[in-house]
């Protein structure tokens, strides 16, 4: 009886083990890459939603200040492209400036570490009672441009 391995059996065993290891490493690498990509997309979606909510807050503040007329309900919401920041009560003029994240994990423009995310708010007046707000978040990931865009329509349903 032959009690050892032949050279062919050793080569086949090494090939099978190597294939399994390479496949596992490839799967792990793809999974990590997908996690980062999905995380960036979720951050972008939340930043876009925040941008829309800030514009809604400006409209709602106008209402609270009894600005409910045909034109003054949209004070501070002129047509154009803007930046917004969570702690501002007005829109900031647009510039291609990346958002920063501070030590409290709050995204803003004034302090903290730069992030890959850029936010642009576009406002279009559809009529005297309706405006269209589009918030676009862009970033680069693996040398590819990515973006998320949310759109909302704001109405003056408290018109007097």
pTM of the model: 0.80
User: What are the structure tokens assigned to 10, written together?
Assistant: 């050793």
Encode pLDDT of 46-82 as tens digits. Answer: 999 999 999 999 999 999 998 888 878 999 999 999 9
Q: Distance between CA 97 and CA 160 in Å, rounded?
A: 39
- Rounded to whole angstroms, the Cα distance separating 71 from 101 reads 36
What mean pLDDT is reported for the chain?
91
Q: What is the pLDDT of residues 85-142, one digit of tens each?
A: 888 889 999 999 999 999 999 999 989 999 999 999 999 999 999 999 999 999 999 8
What is the rounded radius of gyration, in angstroms, for the C-alpha atoms of the chain?
26
Query: What are the contacts of 96-104 at 24+ separation with CB within 8 A?
Result: 99/47
Nearest 5°: the CA angle 20, 22, 28 is 100
pLDDT score at 4: 64
The predicted pLDDT at position 61 comes to: 92
């Amino acid at each position: 009886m032959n009690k050892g391995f032949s050279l062919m059996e050793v080569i086949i065993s090494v090939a099978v083990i190597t294939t399994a290891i390479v496949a596992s490493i490839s799967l792990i690498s793809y999974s990590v890459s997908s996690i980062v990509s999905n995380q960036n997309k979720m951050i972008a979606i939340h930043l876009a939603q925040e941008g829309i909510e800030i514009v809604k807050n400006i409209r709602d503040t106008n209402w609270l200040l009894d600005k409910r007329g045909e034109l003054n309900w949209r004070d501070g919401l002129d047509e154009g492209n803007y930046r917004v920041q969570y702690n501002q009560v007005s829109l900031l003029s647009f510039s291609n400036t990346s958002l920063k994240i501070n030590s409290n994990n709050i995204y803003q423009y004034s302090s903290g570490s730069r992030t890959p995310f850029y936010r642009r708010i576009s406002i279009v007046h559809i009529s005297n009672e309706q405006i269209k707000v589009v918030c676009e978040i862009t970033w680069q990931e693996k040398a590819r441009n990515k973006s998320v865009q949310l759109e909302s329509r704001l109405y003056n349903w408290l018109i007097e």
